Chain A
């Protein structure tokens, strides 16, 4: 975000000029051609700003945004002709209906991922068009609906439409701006970057996605209603034309996803192009060629859009020749030892089980990746989970943290059965995990990554600022603890693999979990860093954190962990102290034994 501040002043001046121009536009334009043009541009802009919430922030592409326009227009059309009444009633009603429909679609798409969501929105667009065509009793079919003419003096021309759309655009922008700086927006970006990961750090992805979809649909539905009144005639072919959706999507892509003003800029360009193709190039097939071609070209050659690309260009000039921080050494590990020496935990005396896994089972097709695995992790321990490649360790992790649901068996955590809870609820109860291959939110900074985890869910929380002062302070403390404070403003993608592991650890600690599950914390990083991670784990353990660690680095595990569990072919075959494990014939057999053969192929 820091790169934005450098640009703030020229942007602010430009924005102010544009806003003034638009606010006073009616005073120097009475040509109906331009009136029509700017009204349509506003409609596109409202659609694109709304679309930005679900597509730009949350990363879910929707091709059904135009359907909400039509839905709003039809709501106003049907209600005002059947019941009468004022647009001031029916426009908000249209917004409400749009929100309800979006919520319903959100429920349908709840468990679906990106590709299924796109298909759903396409199906939605075609379905509402079909309903508008076929349900003649309600919509008059292809005959369309004629809306009542405006009741105001003709002297006002179309300007009441203009100003109400302008007001809606302002509201949409306000909503977009607020979302971007709230916890809600941060959660959406986390979902865009890595949805499964977001869920494991406590983001209630279902509610977030649903709310984002609703937020993206409200104002565009209202704009549709106003647009319907403006047109005075609506029919299925015009209102549910897929080109409308395409133009809204194009506005967003061209201007720049996940920016505040990008969709507005894009909308004005696209509407201009729209008029140009209709008037100068004859519309029809040429329109398809122009907009289809532009869509393809933008995806291929300007995927980030105008505003982000321009920012990147300016930023690249500004920082040319300056060295980055990324190659720097980590903060020295001595600092770590200098801090108050924690009391050494008594590795022998463990409390009651904090985590208990009972006869857990997971099948992939015919293959049993986890086959009646049972074990317990004593509170206050650093427990290791060992096993040959493909023995089901990571799957066990996924079942415990809720990334996957087990086919049978139970998971108990802190006295509560959790195996049917969604991942974020498990995170809220004090379960944190890291991944074998680090999964930070790439486009976020290190600090934002560490602040992203949520320890609870409430609707009030969504409205809080993305990074509050106390959170930032705590995050910095944690970053210092893992030695990564210097890197707080670096984007996560710029870090090395080992650095990412440390940041991911800090991220998990932000949850203040009771149990921390580490999937190969020492995998693929250098020996100094391994030592440092080991030390960090010991220190955290001394402060009361329980650990469950999957690791292949034997000296690391055997020096650190007790008890040690061994998994083979999805079953727990042994547990005990490191010494006992090293002598256990079943373990030796599983790792090295001559008569051990993989009877079935096992997923790594």
Chain B
């Protein structure tokens, strides 16, 4: 029983980090109809940045978030202006291929700068745990999950309470309508992409503490995040949260009760099962398509 509770809590904590990472991906899809395959590469890039800053200054990686997030925001905005923005009106397939290309380039760049070896960021508390009764909770996991949820809450407040946030959500629901009431769709899309990349930045700093990483890790991460947003419903923020927590728990359970080697298969199985039984995802909706411009 203790083992079960421990697994469940660890799964939920990791799920919180997944939720932060997946929210950026689902936001970008919802607003721009772009599947950002480079999302995994962005988060690994942020993890490497965290690593470099941590080794150079000794700053706590969770504090480094304050540096990686704005850096990645600017990076995302520039990337949108130079590449992604050009295919905003193209079919989804174009965006998949483009961002896939970007992911490969980033992987190559990271390999050149940091080398293709496993890195990890290990602050002093990495081997310490909180214990509540018989349940042990590693401090890194607890801090990481907590920080992720705080960032996620901030993102949620921004989207629901600020004018810009409402403009972003309006663009997601009805781009033409948003344009009619004075929202500049192009700028909103650029901003959304930058915010999405920035959230990958924050998530990447957290990931650098929780998992070892190398440039090629981005495949595994993007597969996981895609599994989450398919599960939750593509474009749905609450869906991303639910999907992330479910995946976090399912992976943790697989590690504990089946085998760590098969835990990586969980997101793929999620994709297969959800597409078979509920293609729109748990919290996704099917919208009328005939009035939208094709």
A interface residues, Cβ below 8 angstroms from B:
55, 59-61, 63, 107-109, 111-116, 118-120, 122-124, 126-127, 130-131, 133-134, 194, 196, 242-243, 246, 249, 253, 284-289, 291-297, 299-300, 303, 364-365, 394-395, 398, 403-404, 435-437, 439, 603-604
Nearest residue, chain B, Cβ from A196: B289
Is there contact, CB below 8 Å, between B86 and A300? Answer: yes
**B107 CB contact (under 8 Å) in A131, A292, A398:** A292
Instruction: Say what secondary structure dominates the interface of chain B.
Output: helix
B19 within 8 A of A: no
Is there contact, CB below 8 Å, between A253 and B271? Answer: no
**B92 CB contact (under 8 Å) in A118, A242, A296, A364:** A118
In the bound complex, CA of A394 to CA of B290 (Å)? 9
B interface residues, Cβ below 8 angstroms from A:
29, 33, 35, 37, 83, 86-87, 90-94, 96-98, 100-109, 111-112, 116, 219-220, 222-223, 226-227, 230, 234, 261-262, 264-265, 267-269, 271-272, 275-276, 279, 285, 287-291, 293-294
**B35 CB contact (under 8 Å) in A111, A118, A249:** A118
B residues within 8 A CB of A124?
A: 268
A residues within 8 A CB of B108?
A: 285-289, 292
Is there contact, CB below 8 Å, between B100 and A246? Answer: yes
**8 further contact pairs, Cβ within 8 A, besides A292-B105, A299-B101, A303-B90:** A114-B91, A116-B279, A119-B271, A131-B265, A133-B261, A196-B289, A246-B104, A604-B291
B residues within 8 A CB of A112?
A: 275, 279
Could you list some 30 contacts between A and B, CB below 8 A? A59-B93, A61-B96, A63-B100, A107-B276, A113-B279, A114-B91, A115-B96, A119-B35, A119-B226, A123-B226, A123-B267, A126-B223, A130-B265, A134-B261, A287-B108, A292-B102, A292-B105, A293-B104, A295-B98, A295-B101, A296-B98, A299-B87, A299-B98, A364-B285, A398-B290, A403-B290, A404-B288, A437-B291, A603-B288, A604-B291
Is there contact, CB below 8 Å, between B272 and A253? Answer: no
In the bound complex, CA of A296 to CA of B83 (Å)? 8
B residues within 8 A CB of A253?
A: 97
**A292 CB contact (under 8 Å) in B101, B116, B272, B294:** B101
**B275 CB contact (under 8 Å) in A120, A126, A196, A242:** A120
Is there contact, CB below 8 Å, between A293 and B219? Answer: no
A435 touching B290 in the complex, CB below 8 Å, given contacts A120-B271, A134-B262, A296-B101: yes
Is there contact, CB below 8 Å, between B285 and A123? Answer: no
Kindly provide the distance from the CB of B195 to the nearest chain A CB, expressed in whole angstroms.
20
**B105 CB contact (under 8 Å) in A120, A284, A293, A403:** A293
**A111 CB contact (under 8 Å) in B223, B262, B279, B289:** B279
**B264 CB contact (under 8 Å) in A119, A120, A130, A303:** A130
Nearest residue, chain A, Cβ from B110: A285
A residues within 8 A CB of B91?
A: 59, 114
In the bound complex, CA of A61 to CA of B261 (Å)? 29
Is there contact, CB below 8 Å, between B35 and A115? Answer: yes
A residues within 8 A CB of B267?
A: 123
A285 touching B111 in the complex, CB below 8 Å, given contacts A127-B268, A295-B104, A394-B291: yes
Kindly provide the distance from the CB of B63 to the nearest chain A CB, expressed in whole angstroms.
31
Nearest residue, chain A, Cβ from B82: A300
In the bound complex, CA of A59 to CA of B94 (Å)? 11
Nearest residue, chain B, Cβ from A290: B108
Is there contact, CB below 8 Å, between A285 and B112? Answer: yes
Is there contact, CB below 8 Å, between B268 and A289? Answer: no
**A365 CB contact (under 8 Å) in B96, B98, B234, B285:** B285
A residues within 8 A CB of B230?
A: 116, 119
In the bound complex, CA of A297 to CA of B105 (Å)? 11
Kindly provide the distance from the CB of A591 to the nearest chain B CB, expressed in whole angstroms.
21
Is there contact, CB below 8 Å, between B109 and A289? Answer: yes
Is there contact, CB below 8 Å, between A288 and B102? Answer: no
A residues within 8 A CB of B96?
A: 61, 63, 115, 118
Kindly provide the distance from the CB of B172 to the nearest chain A CB, expressed in whole angstroms.
15
Nearest residue, chain B, Cβ from A303: B94
Is there contact, CB below 8 Å, between B272 and A289? Answer: no
In the bound complex, CA of A603 to CA of B288 (Å)? 9
Is there contact, CB below 8 Å, between A292 and B103? Answer: yes
Is there contact, CB below 8 Å, between A114 and B109? Answer: no
B residues within 8 A CB of A122?
A: 37, 222-223, 226
In the bound complex, CA of A299 to CA of B38 (Å)? 15
